[in-house]
Structure 1
Amino acid sequence: MTDALTLRNAHAADAAEIARLAAELGYATPVEAMSERLGALLSHPNHHVSVAEQGAALLGWIAVEHRCTLESGERIEIVGLVVDASHRGGGVGRMLVADAERWARQRGFEAISVRSNIARDASHPFYESLGYVRRKTQHCYTKTLAP
């Protein structure tokens, strides 16, 4: 008999598994750094992180943020979603997105947004199948600052 898949809020002790999953998408992060980041987000009311768990393993996680910008005001945005490669296509991502949407509704929002890297081909039809509509394409720039 296999353990049931459960959805729950992330805990500080999940840092190693969250880091492992993030590395699957190319975001290799030392566990100590992930632990610090997770601690900061878990203690902030404008952030929500949930995990899909089966037995002792995390099969995925989602991070959602209530943000406010000058140009568009307040909104809820999915800022990270990872499902273990061996469990993709099995409903874990849908379960995590549904949790993010539930969190947004609880906060009084009628919409939620997500950004998806153009290189993540599989994620685009996934979000579209959930009713998300592409609004724009953009470039992301980074500049390393001199000390």
Structure 2
Amino acid sequence: MTSPVLRRAVEADLPAIVDLLADDSLGRTRERPGDPGYAAAFAAIDADPNQLLAVAELDGAIVGTLQLTFIPGLSHAGATRAQLEAVRIRADRRGGGLGRELVEWAVRQARQRGARIVQLTSNASRQRAHRFYERLGFELSHVGMKLDLGR
């Protein structure tokens, strides 16, 4: 397999990123490709120096994405955390090591920015994803909770 180009996303990547987010059982219920809200969200992410929205490009096509958010904090002696979110690999590219390569790249980005911790949340129903992250060295350490503020 040709090595993917791993890079910061640009606005032209947005439709492909949204398609990746929508391409699973959970995404189909919450994503709305074509919604203008994605453009505003992309602009806010792109303008924020504590955000890194990244893509994996292979042979001119976007085949993976993730978002890394850098969170300054006081705990752990003022450590910065890197929050890993929305990791997606196109269905026909799953299982070939691209996800590992993309996450390892994100961890390197976090180290370069001085983060001491990389953390993530994953929906409780995503058992395969949990095993994937454990193989990469992530440990189950916390119980996550959310409060849906609705609209």
CA displacement 1:89-118 (0-9 Å, x = unmatched): 111111111121111111112321111111
The runs of 5 or more residues in structure 2 that have no matched partner are none
The alpha-carbon deviation at position 140 of structure 1 amounts to 2.2
CA displacement 1:37-83 (0-9 Å, x = unmatched): 12211121000111111123211101000124677764111022111
Structure-2 separation of matches of 1:110 and 1:70? 12
TM-score normalised to structure 2 length: 0.84
Is 1:20 paired with 2:19? yes
2:105 aligns to what SS in structure 1?
helix
Output the aligned Cα RMSD: 2.1
Identity rate, percent:
32
Is 1:110 paired with 2:109? no
AA of the residue aligned to 2:120: V
Q: Which residue of 2 aligns with 1:135?
A: 141
Matched-pair contact (CA < 8 Å) for 1:4–1:55: no
Q: Which residue of 1 aligns with 2:32?
A: 29
The structure carrying a bigger helix percent of its residues is 2
Structure-1 separation of matches of 2:104 and 2:8? 13
AA of the residue aligned to 1:60: G
1:122 aligns to what SS in structure 2?
helix
Corresponding residue pairs, total: 144
Q: Which runs of 4+ in 1 moved over 3 A?
A: 68-74
AA of the residue aligned to 1:56: G
Structure 2 CA distance for partners of 1:109 and 1:17, relative to 1, 3 Å: same
Question: Which moved further from structure 2: 60-69 or 134-143?
Answer: 134-143
